[in-house]
Amino acid sequence: MLRRRLNRLCGGDERRVDSRTIYVGHRPCPDTEAFIPPKFCDNRIVSSKYTVWNFLPKNLFEQFRRIANFYFLIIFLVQVIVDTPTSPVTSGLPLFFVITVTAIKQGYEDWLRHKADNEVNKYPVTVLEDGRSVKKESEKIKVGDVVEVVEDETFPCDLILLQSSREDGTCFVTTASLDGESNHKTHYTVPDIERDLQVLTAAIECEQPQPDLYKFVGRMHIYKPEQEEAVRSLGPENLLLKGATLKNTKEIYGVAVYTGMETKMALNYQGKSQKRSAVEKSINAFLLVYLCILISKAVVCTTLKYVWQSKEGQDEPWYNEKTQKEKETNMYLKMFTDFLSFMVLFNFIIPVSMYVTVEMQKFLGSFFIKWDNDFFDPEIEEGALVNTSDLNEELGQVEYVFTDKTGTLTQNNMEFIECCIDGFQYRHRDAHGELDGFTVTDGPLNKLQEKAGREKEELFLRALCLCHTVQVKEETLSDQIDGIDGVLPKAEEERGFIASSPDEVALVKGAMEYGFTFLGLENKNMKIRNRQNDIEEYKLLHVLNFDPVRRRMSVIVQTKSGDTLLFCKGADSSIFPRVRPEEVDRIRLQVERNATDGYRTLCVAYKQLSAEEYALADTGLREARLALQDREEKLMAMYNQVETGMSLIGATAVEDRLQEEAAETMEALQGAGMKIWVLTGDKMETAKSTCYACRLFQRGTELLELTVRTLEDGRSKREDRLLELLRDYHRRAVQDAPPVKTGVVTRSWSANQEYGFIIDGATLSLVMNPPRDADASLYRGLFLQICQNCTAVLCCRMAPLQKAQIVKMVKNCKGSPITLSIGDGANDVSMILEAHVGIGIKGKEGRQAVRNSDYAIPKLKHLKKLLLAHGHLYYVRIAHLVQYFFYKNLCFILPQFLYQFFCGYSQQPLYDAAYLTMYNICFTSMPILAYSLLEQHIAIEILLDNATLYREIAKNAMLRWRPFLYWTVLGIFQGLLFFFGVRFLFSNPALQDNGQVFGNWSYGTIVFTVLVFTVTLKLALDTRHWTWINHFVIWGSLAFYVFFSFFWGGIIWPFLKQQRLYFVFANMLSSVSAWLVIIILILLSLLPEILLAVLRKPKGPHSRQKKPGQSNVGGIPSSQSSARPLLMRTFSDESNTVI
Amino acid sequence: MKNEGETAQRPDNTAFTQQRLPAWQPILSAGIVIPGFLVIGLAFIGIGVGLFLTSQTIQVLEMDYTGVATDSSCFRCSMTSSQNCTCEITFSLDKLFTGPVFFYYGLSNYYQNFRKYGVSLDYYQLSGDTQYFTSPQSVCSPYSYDNQNRPIVPCGAIANSMFNDTFELYQIINGTKNLVPLDGKGIAWWTDYNIKYRNPSFVNGSLANAFAGTVKPINWPKPAYDLDSTDPNNNGFLNQDFLVWMRRAALPQFRKLYRRITEGNYAAGLPAGNYSMTVHYNYPVLTFDGRKKVVFSNVSWMGGRNDFLGIAYLVVGSLCVVMSIIMLIVYAKFKFSDDDA
């Protein structure tokens, strides 16, 4: 959508060029042949959809693109055009109502957008023009303008930072409004720019706008008089994004490169793809059934009409002659219009109001999640967040839970535990007694001195101090930033650290405890205070950034003495191959032990670069950075080239604690019948221990491993071995296991052998993309079947995309189970988007997961209530809502259909138009809405206590064909009863004690009264949780019906052409027989319901008195697992978030 | 809505927002349902017995006078298309037909509930709005104008097809015919007569002038303002027979109130004896295979005779009782053993 608009706005010709050239300050550059001011779009942001002029047509068009609205429009048009039984008002009014309400809502939203747009577009900015500062409106900024931004202002467009008021040529920004990360990010000016921007003559070449916030490639040509032109590379660190805020810097100057709709923010402003819930699919299926019922009713009536009319005298009795026009109409045309008329007459069977009610239910219902105090986390002072209300009920249908590990199962709150220098272990905290015979005696300082050589120690600590991208939080800022990572306890030397990854902070703090304090980065100089309290300064030459593929990062620094050093830290698997093998052995043991203990481990290495080596690396890196094409690849190659031949100094272990109640939550989810898959980028050992700690794997769980390691210990080829293992596991887990009954509460799962499955990324890609394509489905099938029979699956060493792949595979497998992904980091976004329900945790790794999720909760433990209580209730509520809606319209329209057999198939409506219109809008809509918002058929506490209750609604249990059939049969039964009950009564229409007779409208009114009372009382019977609101709407609706009927029939309405209902209702009530028939029909209709409710009760879930055995269903595994040795406390090293 | 959650505010801790509103949680337990069913069942049986007995006491006398059978007295009339045919039906009562006796006429296979037929009237005319006298609404078509294009008042199919057989009832006492007075008042709904339908205001002191420029419905023998020559208040749209006819029947087989027998010697009912009824046979029904009949009936508090209600109450009532007994047995068997376990 936006793209299309973009192309329209910005002309098509520049699309073909893949880079754009910008002249700073619009000054022509000496080099260029001819200065053609390029045309770019202006800086106006248009997020609004409509203007005053196109609102009506465009909005209507969009609304009628919805199938349902379109259907009702067609019905309405048929009513207007063809002579139909009911006036167009009956269907026009509800449609008009729905359309108007939606239009008003959308109009209001658009008005807000207009306002916001205007605020942004009219915002005053300062632009440097011919040496003067000119105040302009933001929308007037053109590409190439030099813009001044002062502290705490947001950038009006995407700027290349030219000059900063800070001496070191940096500035700080927060991108809270873009990706929610509120930490300060450092951006750099382009080097070698003269102070006077007026004389700066430069051209910027950069790529065409693209939405990735973290990517930017460009090049700046700087022309100086009498000098060769200089070329500087531009990267994301030079680009200030529109929407970000300048912090901690007085003012900056930048040149606009992307404006208006081409800014990265605007390009990212796109709605997420719509997820549809399973309930919605059921609704559509039911709709189809009802559409078939509708059409077949119309066909039956039309056919019978013509059969009946063929009998002599029936077609046109003398008392009802046809008009001339009717006589002349073509027979087939007549049949067709008759068909349409019947359609119109019966169209109420598919009610407009259902859509409105369902939508209202979802919208209002989502507030209960937002309001829930149990989701409120005092630490971050936030509750749950609902990004979409369309999926409330899906929360009650989850079968597979895909969870991230770091930050989700674990807290991502890193603590430095120990390190290992040169093979010697240093325990940081006086914590858990002794390990490997090293007792903790004194403070860390003493202990350290006893071990490895002092030089090595200091080198290691320096490495920890230097090799990172941590910023020191400045005192003055502390009150301005509210949302920084809560990593920092306040005390420590009143110094806080800010970093995008908590691991780094933990390491820097760890080094601090050993006496090496990182003081900060100034002017490319890193300052460290060492143990002797001396300040050491290092010149930061290069940062070789972290990325999840390399799984390491490096810095190149220069010491005071002129030595150039490279420090590198990263995951063991990425460091070990790059250091000398003999060093590895000493440390590997420690690393592996730490990993098994569940710590996140990192290895630290260094190398000294000779002058030549550095020069080579320097030019290489610079060139790679300047490259416009394939910069990433070139940089990667260069990094790999530099990071070789290092020597290993040591390793660190950082602890990541389990989230609060992680184990209980997982246990509850498993008890609820959900399969839990842990998808992590972490090492297998770490992840496995987390799984044990979370009780995903129990002591008795038999682990089926499918990893690179198990693949390689066989003699055969990897592929063969893979197949062999798959077959073996399949036999064990699938064929030998008794078939798992789904849906039913089977408690046998606790008795059976449980299986856990472990697979790693490499093996997974082998399974997903085997060398021979033919095997793909075989492998996948085996793999899926194994996984489906395991209680828990652990996938480790996963790339973010692989996570999504797994989710997709499970999502699309047989039975298309409902999947849920939960995660907190950017690496989880892909799986959050892929799963049916995406849950974001408001964790420490920024806000991307939250932004892309459907629901966000502060802690993992909240998932339990979200699914077991909210999800369960919402599912029951909406399922009941849907079934009830279809039911009540079936028994509404069925009598009208039956009446056709008694009125010569003449499309005579049974009910008055007012009743037809109001039935769904007023008389029966509120009770079901209240029910669908407030019902708690089982109390929330009981739902939370008995996770197994969740299984009762698994697999869309309440919206399957059986319950649908039940409701349909009920509707038909009641419809028949209503009609024929009154029909027999009317065999003698003299129903009053004055001998007067009742007419057809009395007939319809009696049926309608029975109908309204029955469907409302049916709902009352189903209501298990009567709050005052339920009482109010249920009795209120009935009272309103009676009141309305009196009122409607009590007055001669001047706008009505026929006063059909005049005093019909009052007369009806004056007849004892009418009363008696109404009472008996209501009771008879509800009789089967009451009987079923009573007979079903003993085994139903409604038995509130908990039997001791039952309430403990969730507790059985817990007693088992608590017997399990406390394996470990906490874990991890998810390398793609490290550093 | 998107950013509301981020305003760092603790949600309201009210019973409503936390879904903790105090609630009544009724359970349909056997303890309530079994006695409930029993009580309802017994009550229904009681009502049913009452209804049934009441219904049985209501006397009904139905006579088909269509004249299909060749030996029936109205056969002659049914064959001729001529107006003003009269036939006579005799019957005898062997005991008193308790009064007040209601005199209905009944039609069958007559679809007053055809949709087109049903809308074929102009309420504005019928409420006395003379504007619509000259230009009836189009729904009345083809009964809006006569073939000289004069507007018909009252227009429409319903009015045009008004039932126009008339009856005279005689008691034969010793060979002499004694006219039984028939009361034509109070046969239409009170509101129809007094509020819903209105005659146009008199012009120059006469109702007929108000209808000037219009013609009577084609099938009517007399114009609307002259329907009842005996009673000036029973004319125009406020003619009771007309009002009864205008209230459309629900089903193709229906009866409508014709007269009440409330006066004179017959206020207490029709005494036993021989009766003769003179039928002015005007209304053709055989073309569409319809039937005509007259019905004498008296009414009770439940209206006319209708066995259905009584039987329904008896059946449902006994069903409830049987159910409660079955449930009792089921519960005695299962629930009590459940408690032991």
The answer to whether residue B297 neighbours chain A at the CB level (below 8 Å) is yes
**Contact predicate A995/B257, CB 8 Å:** yes
A1060: nearest Cα among B246, B112, B242:
B246
A997: nearest Cα among A1071, A912, A929, A1060:
A1071
Residue list, annotated binding site of A for Mg(2+): 404, 406, 824, 828
CA distance to partner chain A, nearest, from residue B253 (Å): 8
The answer to whether residue B260 neighbours chain A at the CB level (below 8 Å) is yes
A714 pLDDT tier (thresholds 50, 70, 90): low
> How large is the average pLDDT for residues A667-685?
85
CA distance to partner chain A, nearest, from residue B88 (Å): 25
Cis peptide before B232 (omega within 30 of 0): no
**Torsions phi, psi for B62 (to 5 deg):** -115, 135
- Of the candidates A404, A422, A572, A760, the residue annotated as catalytic is A404
| pLDDT at position A716 over 80 | no
* Cβ-Cβ contacts under 8 Å for B29 (sequence gap 6 or more): A1094, A1097
Structure tokens at A219: 């090049």
> How large is the average pLDDT for residues A578-597?
80
Distance CA B129, CA B237 (A): 12
Give the tens place of pLDDT for each residue, A147-179: 888 888 888 888 888 888 877 777 888 776 665
- Nearest residue, CB atoms, A1071 vs list B143, B188, B303: B303
Instruction: Tell me the domain boundaries of chain B.
Output: 31-58+300-340, 59-299
For A392, A952, A1124, B235, the CA distances from A673, given in Å and listed in that order, are 19, 10, 22, 79
What DSSP state is assigned to residue A539? E
**Contact predicate A258/A264, CB 8 Å:** yes
Give me chain A's average pLDDT, please: 79
- CB atoms inside a 10 Å sphere around CB A995: 21
Cis peptide before B100 (omega within 30 of 0): yes
The DSSP string of A438-472 is B---S-HHHHHHHSS-HHHHHHHHHHHHHSS--EE
CA distance to partner chain A, nearest, from residue B142 (Å): 5
> How large is the average pLDDT for residues A380-396?
84
Choose between A678 and A655: higher pLDDT: A678
| pLDDT at position A639 over 80 | yes
Burial A432-456 (b: 16+ CB within 10 A, else e): eeeeeeeebeeebeebbeebbeeeb
| pLDDT at position A651 over 80 | yes
CB pairs under 8 A between A and B: 273
A890 pLDDT tier (thresholds 50, 70, 90): very high
Q: Which helix (H) or strand (E) segment is A334 a member of?
A: helix A331-346
For A1, A49, A50, A51, B176, the CA distances from A113, given in Å and listed in that order, are 17, 8, 10, 11, 95
Q: Which helix (H) or strand (E) segment is A57 a member of?
A: helix A55-64
Give the tens place of pLDDT for each residue, A324-375: 888 888 889 989 999 999 998 898 888 777 888 888 898 888 889 988 988 8
Distance CA A581, CA A561 (A): 30
Residue list, annotated binding site of A for ATP: 404-406, 504, 546, 569, 600, 680-682, 797, 803, 827-828
pLDDT for A1041: 96
Structure tokens at A288: 């189809």
Q: A417-426, A669-678, A795-804, A1099-1108: which has the minimum mean pLDDT?
A: A1099-1108
Give the tens place of pLDDT for each residue, B187-203: 999 999 999 999 999 88
pLDDT for B315: 95
pLDDT for A34: 55
Residue A145 is among the residues annotated as catalytic for this protein: no
CB contact under 8 A, A1087 and B142: no
Report chain B residues whose CB lies below 8 A from the CB of A1102. 27
B184: nearest Cα among B245, B125, B123:
B245
Q: How many CA atoms lie within 13 A of A691 on its CB side?
A: 32
Within 201-240 of B, beta carbons closer than 8 Å to A belong to: none
| pLDDT at position A481 over 50 | no
Q: A952-956, A1090-1094, B284-288: which has the minimum mean pLDDT?
A: A1090-1094
pLDDT for A1074: 94
Q: A108-112, A196-200, A954-958, B121-125: which has the minimum mean pLDDT?
A: A196-200
- CB atoms inside a 10 Å sphere around CB B23: 21
Its pTM stands at 0.79
A297 pLDDT tier (thresholds 50, 70, 90): very high
CB contact under 8 A, A1026 and B25: yes
A818: nearest Cα among A382, A1137, A393, A1114:
A393
* Cβ-Cβ contacts under 8 Å for A17 (sequence gap 6 or more): A208
Burial B176-202 (b: 16+ CB within 10 A, else e): eebebebbbeebbbebbbeebbbbbee
Smallest CA–CA distance from B18 into chain A, residue: A372
Give the tens place of pLDDT for each residue, A765-820: 888 777 777 777 888 888 888 888 888 889 887 777 778 888 888 888 888 889 99
A742 pLDDT tier (thresholds 50, 70, 90): very low
- CB atoms inside a 10 Å sphere around CB B272: 11
Structure tokens at B154: 């009252």
End-to-end Cα distance, chain B: 53
Give me chain B's average pLDDT, please: 88
pLDDT for A95: 84
Distance CA A1015, CA A927 (A): 10
CA distance to partner chain A, nearest, from residue B299 (Å): 6
Question: Per DSSP, what are the bridge partners of residue A233?
Answer: A219
pLDDT for A984: 94
| pLDDT at position A7 over 70 | no
Within 471-530 of A, beta carbons closer than 8 Å to B belong to: none
Burial B220-258 (b: 16+ CB within 10 A, else e): beebbbbbbeeeeebbbbbbbbbbbbbbbbbbbbbbbbb
Distance CA B186, CA B184 (A): 7
**Contact predicate A1002/A1068, CB 8 Å:** yes
What DSSP state is assigned to residue B290? -
Distance CA A313, CA A1025 (A): 58
Q: State how far Cα B140 lies from the chain centre.
A: 23
Q: Is A1130 exposed, middle or buried (0-12, 13-18, 19+ CB in 10 A)?
A: buried
* Cβ-Cβ contacts under 8 Å for A800 (sequence gap 6 or more): A548, A681, A826, A827, A828, A829, A830, A831, A1136
CA distance to partner chain B, nearest, from residue A862 (Å): 15
Distance CA A888, CA A1018 (A): 10
Report chain A residues whose CB lies below 8 A from the CB of B308. 984-985, 987
Within 146-205 of B, beta carbons closer than 8 Å to A belong to: 157, 160-161, 186-189, 191-192, 195-196
> Which residue's structure tokens are 């009395």?
A1002
Query: How wide is the angle at C-alpha B181 spanned by C-alphas B180 and B184, nearest 5°?
Result: 135
Distance CA A842, CA A826 (A): 12
Distance CA A404, CA A795 (A): 10
Q: Is A555 exposed, middle or buried (0-12, 13-18, 19+ CB in 10 A)?
A: buried
Structure tokens at A428: 């940081």
Q: Which helix (H) or strand (E) segment is A730 a member of?
A: helix A718-730
For A724, A993, A1062, B109, the CA distances from B257, given in Å and listed in that order, are 91, 13, 20, 18
CA distance to partner chain B, nearest, from residue A220 (Å): 39
Q: A238-242, A879-883, A1095-1099: which has the minimum mean pLDDT?
A: A1095-1099
Give the tens place of pLDDT for each residue, A1005-1061: 999 999 999 999 999 999 989 999 999 999 999 999 999 999 999 988 888 888 889
pLDDT for A1104: 41
Q: What is the ipTM of this complex?
A: 0.95
- Nearest residue, CB atoms, A1076 vs list B9, B47, B102: B47
Cis peptide before A209 (omega within 30 of 0): no
- Nearest residue, CB atoms, B249 vs list A989, A1025, A1090: A989
Structure tokens at B227: 């329907």
Distance CA A1078, CA A1072 (A): 10
pLDDT for A181: 56
Q: Is A977 exposed, middle or buried (0-12, 13-18, 19+ CB in 10 A)?
A: buried
CB contact under 8 A, A320 and B334: no
Query: How wide is the angle at C-alpha A623 spanned by C-alphas A237 and A36, nearest 5°?
Result: 75
CB contact under 8 A, A324 and B288: no
Amino acid at B340: D
If you compute the radius of gyration of chain B from its CA atoms, what whole number of angstroms results? 30
Give the tens place of pLDDT for each residue, B284-341: 888 888 999 999 999 898 888 999 999 999 999 999 999 899 888 888 887 655 444 3
The answer to whether residue B116 neighbours chain A at the CB level (below 8 Å) is yes
**Contact predicate A692/A1128, CB 8 Å:** yes
Q: Is B161 exposed, middle or buried (0-12, 13-18, 19+ CB in 10 A)?
A: buried
What DSSP state is assigned to residue A208? P
CB contact under 8 A, B313 and A902: no
Report chain A residues whose CB lies below 8 A from the CB of B6. 382, 385
Report chain B residues whose CB lies below 8 A from the CB of A313. 287-289
pLDDT for A430: 44
Helices and strands (H, E) in chain B, number of each type: 10, 10
B151: nearest Cα among B131, B126, B134:
B134
**Contact predicate A449/A499, CB 8 Å:** no
- Nearest residue, CB atoms, A370 vs list B11, B287, B304: B11
pLDDT for A179: 57
When scoring B189, B244, B289, B294 by the number of chain A Cβ atoms within 10 A, the one with the most, hence best to mutate, is B189
pLDDT for A1137: 30
Give the tens place of pLDDT for each residue, A824-868: 876 777 788 888 999 988 876 567 678 778 899 988 889 999 999
> How large is the average pLDDT for residues A719-739?
75
Q: State how far Cα A653 lies from the chain centre.
A: 33
The DSSP string of A1077-1103 is HHHHHHHHHHHHHHHHHHHHGGGSTT-
| pLDDT at position A556 over 70 | yes
pLDDT for A9: 44
pLDDT for A1080: 95
CB contact under 8 A, B113 and A903: yes
